[in-house]
């Protein structure tokens, strides 16, 4: 127990731990300030987007008028003109709704605009709006209307759930493991470099327990960092934003189609999958630390293996047996939400193997 408490104090009283927490607080505060400062700019951009669509519709109208001057009875051109006029009408309603910041009218007008664009295309017309954008935004708009929620720009949320989700998107991508690596990179190798490993060996404790003790404290450090992220983001949004709703819908890919996931579900499941990856991450880190016994080589090897593993998830389709499937949890949600948990067993199994090999090598070292 004395060794366990000693190792904990050594990690949590280190300058690196305070540095990581400070980085978290400052970075999240800057992100929130950026979101507040860009609110008016994003609103203006949304209005300009509608204006660009209106310009395209007006250009189409001039083209159809010219064509009808030549052939006034061309039914195809008359149909296209009629449906283009419907597009322009819905865009004008959308422009008014955005200018007045009427969220419900904006969602309804945008859905009508998408419907009119589809009808225009069915008649043989072309409009500069992707099918993907129409499908994703229509699905989200309908869900927002059903839940009576206003839309927030992805990545620039001010409500508690949306801002927390935006922060965690970064945390799930690279932020969490990167911050943890800053903290624990020298945690094991430092014992070899400073020869304090001999002090640990002299304590009344089984050598094979040293790696598990290090792992437990590293995992507690991850929990502490995650709590700092969540508390900081939540307090900023509560005091300077708004309460929002954890039922806010997000659109994710589900197989060959799109599906909805609430912000609350994204946060809960994302933290769960990140926790699984961190078990694997710490296991790899401790294994390379015991094998190489120097901070720089161990860290570089870990980063190389993680990058190679991440590359394998992009190139191979067998992610169900790939322990690196959760290197980027956010991408897993975006593109593989139909198979979120399939790689959990192999990830934990390989992590367990890393811990076992690291413990065995340390036990039989010297």
Q: What is the pLDDT of residue 180?
A: 81
- Could you give the residue ranges of the DSSP H alpha helices within 171-294? 176-184, 189-193, 197-202, 210-240, 263-292
Q: How large is the average pLDDT for residues 171-200? A: 78
pTM: 0.86
Q: Is the pLDDT of residue 115 over 70?
A: yes
Q: Where are the domains of the chain?
A: 2-36+156-363, 40-145
- Could you give the residue ranges of the DSSP H alpha helices within 38-128? 39-70, 75-100, 103-122
Q: What are the tens digits of pLDDT across the range 25-83?
A: 999 999 999 999 999 999 999 999 999 999 999 998 898 888 878 888 778 888 888 99
More confident residue, 7 or 211: 211
Using a 10 angstrom Cβ sphere, with 0-12 exposed, 13-18 middle and 19 or more buried, the burial of residue 152 is buried
Q: What is the pLDDT of residue 316?
A: 65
Distance between CA atoms of residues 152 and 46, nearest Å: 12
Query: Lowest-confidence range among 11-20, 106-115, 164-173, 302-311?
Result: 11-20
10 Å Cβ neighbour count for 40? 9
Q: How large is the average pLDDT for residues 91-97? A: 92
Name the percent of the chain lying above pLDDT 70.
Answer: 92
Q: What is the pLDDT of residue 4?
A: 65
Confidence of residue 110 (pLDDT cuts 50, 70, 90): very high
Distance between CA atoms of residues 326 and 166, nearest Å: 18
Q: What is the pLDDT of residue 246?
A: 92
Q: How large is the average pLDDT for residues 220-230? A: 91
């Amino acid at each position: 127990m004395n060794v366990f408490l000693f190792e904990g104090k050594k990690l949590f009283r280190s300058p690196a731990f305070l540095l990581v927490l400070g980085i978290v607080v400052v970075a999240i505060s800057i992100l929130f300030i950026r979101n507040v400062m860009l609110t008016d700019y994003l609103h203006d951009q949304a209005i300009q987007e509608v204006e660009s669509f209106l310009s395209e519709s007006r250009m189409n109208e001039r083209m159809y008028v010219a064509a009808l001057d030549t052939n006034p009875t061309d039914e195809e051109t008359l149909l296209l003109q009629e449906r283009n006029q419907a597009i322009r009408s819905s865009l004008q309603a959308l422009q008014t709704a955005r200018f007045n910041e009427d969220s419900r009218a904006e969602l309804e007008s945008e859905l009508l605009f998408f419907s009119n664009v589809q009808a225009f295309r069915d008649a043989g017309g072309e409009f500069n709006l992707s099918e993907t954008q129409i499908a994703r935004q229509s699905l989200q708009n309908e869900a927002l209307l059903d839940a009576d929620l206003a839309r927030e720009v992805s990545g620039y949320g001010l409500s508690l759930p949306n801002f927390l989700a935006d922060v965690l998107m970064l945390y799930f991508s690279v932020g969490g493991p990167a911050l943890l690596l800053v903290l624990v990179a020298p945690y094991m190798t430092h014992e070899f470099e400073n020869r304090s490993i001999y002090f640990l060996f002299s304590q009344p404790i089984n050598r094979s327990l040293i790696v598990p003790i290090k792992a437990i404290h590293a995992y507690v450090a991850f929990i502490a960092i995650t709590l700092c992220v969540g508390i900081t983001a939540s307090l900023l949004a509560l005091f300077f934003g708004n309460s929002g709703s954890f039922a806010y819908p997000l659109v994710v890919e589900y197989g060959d189609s799109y599906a909805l996931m609430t912000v609350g579900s994204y946060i809960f499941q994302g933290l769960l999958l990140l926790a699984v990856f961190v078990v694997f991450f710490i296991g790899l880190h401790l294994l390379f630390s015991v094998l190489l016994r120097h901070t720089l080589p161990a860290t570089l090897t870990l980063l190389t293996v993680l990058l190679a593993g991440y590359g394998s998830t992009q190139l191979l389709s067998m992610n169900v047996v790939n322990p690196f499937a959760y290197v980027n949890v956010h991408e897993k949600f975006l593109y593989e939400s139909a198979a979120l948990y399939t790689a959990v067993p192999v990830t934990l199994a390989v992590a367990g193997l890393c811990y076992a090999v690291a413990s065995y090598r340390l036990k039989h070292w010297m």
